[in-house]
Amino acid sequence: MSIYDLQFDDYGNTRALKVNAKGNAVLFHNYTNKGVAFSDEEREVFEISGLVPPEVKSLSQQVLNAQDIIQEKVSDFEKFIYIRSLFDRNVTLAHALLSSDITRYMSIVYTPTVGIVCQRFSSMFRQGNGLHFYPGNIDDAEKILRRYERADIRVAVVTDNQGILGIGDQGAGGQAICLGKLMLYTQGAGIAPWHCLPISLDVGTDNEKLLRDPKYIGWHHRRLTGDDYLAFVGKFARAFKKVFPNALCQWEDFSKQNAFTVRDTYVNDLISFNDDIQGTGSVTLAGILAAMKIKSEGLKDQVYLIHGAGAGGVGIAEQIEAALVEEGMAVAEARARIFTLDSRGLVTTDRSLDPYKEKFAKDPGALPWFNSSADGALENVIEKAGVTVLIGTSGQHGCFTKEVVTKVLANTERPIILPLSNPTANTEAIPEDIYNWTDGKALVATGSPFDPVNHGGSEYRVGQCNNVFIFPGVGLGVIASGATKVLPSFFTAAAHAAADCVSSHDLARGALFPSVDRLQEVTLKVAKAVGRAAIREGVARKCAFSAFDHNTDPARLDEAVDHMIWKPVYLPLEA
């Protein structure tokens, strides 16, 4: 039995909470709690008087106080614990804190610090924070999901925990990624926290360290595989569709073995997409489009090499191909400009390949310079294929060496170098090194955040090429437009919208992305572009979460997007 009912305005935004409880129950619920910010009247009505100290403080005073406390914490991990506990007691204050300096706090609740949190999940466990399905309860998935019905779930971020960032199988700990992503749905897209549901599909773990750890709190078994795995995901998907037919399901951090299968199995059944394939593909295209403005060249003039043929790498290849085709290039011609490499070198059709790698595998007979697998080495491919855009999704720290980067420089005046692997320790190269090796000529963006770099008397700002600039906007655009499915064209539209947010001032400093403090502004532009794409594609309908109907009119859709934004300020509480 929930202690609150959400009260909505016509746009589906929460305008008040109707609270059917008193006293400590109101204080102990993170949606209703205001701590020392309860007004005198609220203290009276909800019988809180006497349960909090007398002085009434404002939300902004509470934020300043929280900032001071975080300042005193020595490690980012401790800062995370404090912020997490704030979320658990007062979600409005926690979000107000994050928006007071999103650049700073995003690096704690999200990449890179969240990587450590996933790894220490069992020892630091405090609350479930979302749902944990495992073979022992998956048959009750529908019943369990129904407990959230009153929260009017709009977005779920769902992981099977196997491909967490660039650090692999983290067992039940992957839940922390879902939480971080959803915090950014709230920060960027203004989707209120009660509409967000993090879900771990705990199908076991093959992480030996976790299996040996007596403290491990996930399902203590090796991973389900094959049909057992697919049946488990199927049970979840069917229950989710039944309980939340209008909600968006974001698949997150599945490993490459399953990411494509799961995405493709449910793409028409659930309103769903895979963030690592499609979000990463889209944000990388956005960075390349911004770089084209600096280079005064077109996508068709580049040769692309993606080092790391996993979910992110193949997703980027798919997205670059889609953008080239949209510009009028034939598919075969587009594909010929995109090279993928994995740990064994160039992906070629004469190797035995996982199916998801086949699309971008090269026929060695068609490459005059390829005679043996040794020719598929990174540096050789860069040289022989004339690569101008080098993208890293390998998880291999430091593999973009000076030799590698200068090979790209030999092909073009302004090489585009994107070491995208997360978290920071996995990055393929450090921006400072890349600027030094190329005398500031390289156009650089990274997956994890990096400080600006001084080189040759100029300051370069390193744009963060992270799907955070895409997924919240895709989600909001899909929800507001009532899109019945998530189509590939949404991600091309999102990439163009994000690239258009990069100002001439950003470009002058070599930045391929807007700064993170503009997250909400970028998200709204992306959402509107995605909503328009849904209208163009004929999949838009009335939004299930609001009374307002956009009637497939783009101007009305913009209005819906602008008005759906929840801001972290205390809501009126109605008795």
Ligand X SMILES: O=C([O-])CC(=O)C(=O)O
Q: What one-character DSSP code corresponds to residue 572?
A: P
Q: Is 252 annotated as a binding residue?
A: yes
Give the number of residues written for the chain. Answer: 575
| C-alpha 402 chain-centroid distance | 30
- Determine the interface stretch with Mg ion among 69-77, 115-123, 252-260, 523-531 (rule: CB under 5 A): 252-260
CB nearer ligand X, residue 13 or residue 159: 159
CB nearer ligand X, residue 469 or residue 548: 469
Q: Is 529 left (phi over 0), alpha (psi -120 to 50) or beta?
A: alpha
Q: Which does 424 bind (CB under 5 to 8 A by kind): ligand X, Mg ion, none?
A: none
CB nearer Mg ion, residue 203 or residue 292: 203
How many Å apart are CA 348 and CA 476, to the nearest integer? 39
Task: Report which of 118, 107, 227, 120 is spatially closest to residue 162, judged by C-alpha positions.
Answer: 118
Interface with Mg ion, residue 276, by CB under 5 A:
yes
Instruction: Tell me how many residues contact Mg ion (CB under 5 A).
Output: 2
Name the site residues for ligand X (rule: CB under 6 A): 111, 165, 253, 275-276, 422, 447, 466-467
Residue 97 makes CB contacts below 8 A (sequence gap 6+) with: 63, 66, 67, 70, 83, 86, 105
Q: Which does 321 bind (CB under 5 to 8 A by kind): Mg ion, ligand X, none?
A: none
Minimum CB–partner distance for residue 284 and ligand X (Å): 11
Q: Is 422 annotated as a binding residue?
A: yes
Q: Is 275 annotated as a binding residue?
A: no
CB nearer Mg ion, residue 160 or residue 253: 253
CB nearer ligand X, residue 470 or residue 560: 470
Q: Is 44 annotated as a binding residue?
A: no
Cβ neighbour number for residue 418 with a 10 Å cutoff: 30
Interface with Mg ion, residue 169, by CB under 5 A:
no
Residue choice 253, 318, 428, 506 for contact with Mg ion (CB under 5 A): 253
- State the residue number with the nearest CB to ligand X: 111
Q: DSSP labels for 331-367?
A: HHHHHHTEEEEETTEE-BTTS---HHHHTT-B-GGG-
Q: Which does 422 bind (CB under 5 to 8 A by kind): Mg ion, ligand X, none?
A: ligand X
Q: DSSP labels for 298-339?
A: -GGG--EEEE--SHHHHHHHHHHHHHHHHTT--HHHHHHTEE
- Determine the interface stretch with Mg ion among 88-96, 245-253, 316-324, 409-417 (rule: CB under 5 A): 245-253
Residue 143 makes CB contacts below 8 A (sequence gap 6+) with: none
Minimum CB–partner distance for residue 420 and ligand X (Å): 8
Minimum CB–partner distance for residue 24 and Mg ion (Å): 38
Q: Which does 552 bind (CB under 5 to 8 A by kind): Mg ion, ligand X, none?
A: none
Handedness of CA 465, 184, 181, 244 (dihedral sign): negative
The residues carrying an active-site annotation are 110, 181
* Cα dihedral value 197, 203, 204, 205, nearest 10: -80
CB nearer ligand X, residue 177 or residue 320: 177
Cβ neighbour number for residue 521 with a 10 Å cutoff: 12
How many Å apart are CA 517 and CA 398, to the nearest integer? 28
Q: Which does 466 bind (CB under 5 to 8 A by kind): ligand X, Mg ion, none?
A: ligand X
Q: 573 has which bridge partners?
A: 17
Minimum CB–partner distance for residue 384 and Mg ion (Å): 32
Residues making up the annotated binding site are 252-253, 276, 422, 466
Annotated binding residues for a divalent metal cation: 252-253, 276
Binding site for Mg ion (CB under 5 A): 253, 276
Point out the annotated binding site for (S)-malate.
422, 466
